[in-house]
Structure 1
Amino acid sequence: MDVAMTSTTDTVCPSCGGPVAAADLFCEACGAELKPAAAPSTPALDTDTEPTVEIGAVAAGAAVPVGPCASCGGTVGADGYCETCGTKAAKPRDHFTEQPAAWVAGVCDRGIRHTRNEDAMAIAADAEPGSRALLVVCDGVSSSLDSDVASLAAARAARDVLEAGHAQGLGTESSRAGAIAARLKAAADAASDAVLDNTSPDSPNPASCTFVATVLEGGLLVAGNVGDSRAYWFPDGAEAVALTVDDSWAAELIAGGMSREEAESGPHAHAITRWLGKDAPDHTPRITTLPVSGPGWLMVCSDGLWNYCSEAAPLADLVRQTAAEHGGEPKATASALVDWANAQGGQDNITVALARL
């Protein structure tokens, strides 16, 4: 997420004096190892073969991954560089996946242009397909300090709140929708608190991020958002539905009559008007509720994906075609969509979370 805010450097490299950020493990200029600050750890993101990430590890710049060099297959040394070709190894935070159930998965990627991944996601699901899924995506504002740490903490805090409640046993559809909406607002509160907890009190550019979360439960789909990360419902053989409306300069221009193409290509297209953080004007999520009964794809994503395909209908076509090419498997489909966004330029961090009903 890029907005026009002043960026500052946390410190300098003790070896060469070059600028480094608090989250860096190595100096980008000379490669010198930087001593990380200690931080508490939390449970890993997932238990599959993908790299795992802990909040404490992210705050410290993330440990050097174990495994062969991605460029040549050589051995990665303790300094984080390949001993054969010299390529710097990617940090686990640069690309990670979650798949809590066979029908729900997400992929979060640094992209090509950015030097760190400020996107984050946290998802949960029951094993039975179509039963219950919780998808949360937070996109850190690039010009704010420690937004990568704050966004991950926010996403996980929101997911934990959403997991704690269950509205399926309530009576009417309206009462269940109200209960879920209240839980989404509580999740946004928890996410906001997590951002504040990961912001230095005297920071000149306090950490900030967007927030979008969806709850699928008992035939109801409820979405809440702050900022310009989005949620969509793509039913099979029916019209695509954008579940969220951006809190952004571009969205206001579109509402005022400007074409989407012109508004989203302007100089302030990605300036958001609401966010989570110390200086946020309001973090109450905008809530949308939709009953779902047939098959389809639920997608939550950051602007790293929709930047390249903003309209709901063509984005639905892209998701359906990609899913068909990967056997309808959510993790493979999400990964392929991330690859597609990188192929378009990868100008931002990219997060795609999917649930297949």
Structure 2
Amino acid sequence: MDHVVSVACPACGAAVHDSDRFCEGCGAALVAPAAPAEPSPEPSPQPSPEPSAADGAGAPCRSCGGVVAADGYCEQCGALAVSERDHWSERPAPHVGGVCDRGRRHARNEDAMALHADGALTALVVCDGVSSAPDSDLASLAAARAARDVLAAGAVPATVTEAARPAAWSALLVDAAAAADAAIRGAVGDRAGRAEPPSCTFVAAVVDGPLVVTGWLGDSRTYWLPDAGTPRQLSADDSGANELIARGVPRAQAESSPTAHAITRWLGPDAPDVVPQTTATRTQGPGWVLVCSDGLWNYCSEAADLDALVRDVEARVGSAPDAIAAELVTWANAQGGHDNITVALARPTGDSLQAEPTGSAANVEAAPPPASRPDLDPTDR
């Protein structure tokens, strides 16, 4: 039987048992109520989350308080740890901002962005990790940061003539892509030897006054959405269908090809070619440069449709670029959020005259056909 100890009530002196919670004589509480647990402090928003494949490891699980293992899941309840990488925003200047979000269907955010602003110069970089290649979240963030740093550090000097600036920025975008690819190899270590090593798409846009120069590998996109005029997509997807169309294959035949949805260029240890296509445009009047992953454009691909969506959002939330980006992310999640979603926006300054191709798809036609990766479906990254 249990051993019972009699003690005195501190309020009235009546005999009570040590297991009693209240005195039967006066009703006084015999056990002090437990102090409510302090809520776990919310982490401060981090505009530049660290590139970790297991964000949250070692921290207490927010669902049950258990230990989060190295793979990012709680050892007690199995919940995936909340990660700073799941959703973050950046706004380096009033006219520049972006949001990166995990979406609704993927367990991890494999998109990344890195933004820079200095006076009239802006750099927007978005990389979309390939979900079929494990740990591609490491690749995308390392690549985005490395490319941004090259573009910021190597900014074309003001002494370079207006006519020479498109080519100078295009050359720097090539350097930025090479640095991004090298950064991936450094970030993934021995994972580079896998059959499907971590990899990602790449798109970067430099806004230099009214001049917009963009470079890309894969199917993350750059759009120009003028306040007045015709909106258009500045990049051209590196996909099997587009490669065939560029070589003169009829669109219907190209889009029904077995390789139509294969990504033909990317960054990573198994990439056969990391030289981006580039194009330069001199904008006329104000508007938005929008850089995004396919988590957005899968739901709104045509430039005119995307422009209408942005204008509707701007009318509701105002002209702050991070607020517009956040609302576009919310909209994409409402459509299903099947993929990670990244949106970055900037407004050029000044007027100019015309578009100037500097290394676009037309110049790539004569190049040998790049190796394709049929596993890189643009709807599954």
**Counterpart in 1 of 2:53?**
59
Alpha-carbon distance in structure 2 between the residues aligned to 1:90 and 1:176: 44
List 4+ stretches of structure 1 deviating above 6 A.
64-67
Query: Is it true that 1:125 corresponds to 2:125 in the alignment?
Result: no
Alpha-carbon distance in structure 1 between the residues aligned to 2:278 and 2:345: 19
What's the CA shift string for 1:281-333, capped at 9, x where partnerless?
21101010011241100100000100011111111111121112111111110
Query: Is it true that 1:188 corresponds to 2:177 in the alignment?
Result: yes
Quick check: 1:137–1:211 contact (8 Å CA) kept in 2?
yes
Count of aligned residue pairs for this structure pair: 296
Quick check: 2:216–2:278 contact (8 Å CA) kept in 1?
yes
Structure of higher CA gyration radius: 2
Q: How big is the shift at 1:52? A: 4.7
What percentage of aligned pairs have identical amino acids?
A: 55
Describe the SS at the equivalent of 1:177. Answer: helix
Note the 1:308-319 alignment, pairs <5 A. 308-319=299-310
Which ranges in structure 1 are unaligned for 5 or more consecutive residues? Answer: 1-47, 70-74
**Counterpart in 1 of 2:65?**
77
Query: CA 1:269–1:345 in 2, change beyond 3 Å: closer, same or farther?
Result: farther
Query: Is it true that 1:346 corresponds to 2:340 in the alignment?
Result: no
Query: Is it true that 1:277 corresponds to 2:272 in the alignment?
Result: no
Which residue identity does 2:301 align to in structure 1?
A: S
**Counterpart in 1 of 2:99?**
107
Alpha-carbon distance in structure 2 between the residues aligned to 1:65 and 1:302: 30
What's the CA shift string for 1:5-63, capped at 9, x where partnerless?
xxxxxxxxxxxxxxxxxxxxxxxxxxxxxxxxxxxxxxxxxxx953455435x234345
Q: How big is the shift at 1:250? A: 3.4
Quick check: 1:151–1:208 contact (8 Å CA) kept in 2?
yes
Quick check: 2:56–2:81 contact (8 Å CA) kept in 1?
no
Q: CA RMSD in A?
A: 2.8
Alpha-carbon distance in structure 2 between the residues aligned to 1:330 and 1:146: 30
Alpha-carbon distance in structure 1 between the residues aligned to 2:317 and 2:59: 28
Which residue identity does 1:345 align to in structure 2?
A: G
Describe the SS at the equivalent of 2:163. Answer: helix
Which residue identity does 2:127 align to in structure 1?
A: C
Which residue identity does 2:334 align to in structure 1?
A: A
Alpha-carbon distance in structure 1 between the residues aligned to 2:307 and 2:173: 25
Normalising by structure 2, report the TM-score.
Answer: 0.71
Q: 2:194 aligns with which of 200, 203, 207?
A: 203
Query: CA 1:230–1:259 in 2, change beyond 3 Å: closer, same or farther?
Result: farther
Which residue identity does 1:149 align to in structure 2?
A: L
Q: 2:224 aligns with which of 220, 233, 245?
A: 233
Which residue identity does 1:227 align to in structure 2?
A: G
Q: How big is the shift at 1:196? A: 1.6
Q: 2:136 aligns with which of 147, 151, 154?
A: 147
Note the 1:253-264 alignment, pairs <5 A. 255=246, 256-258=249-251, 263=255
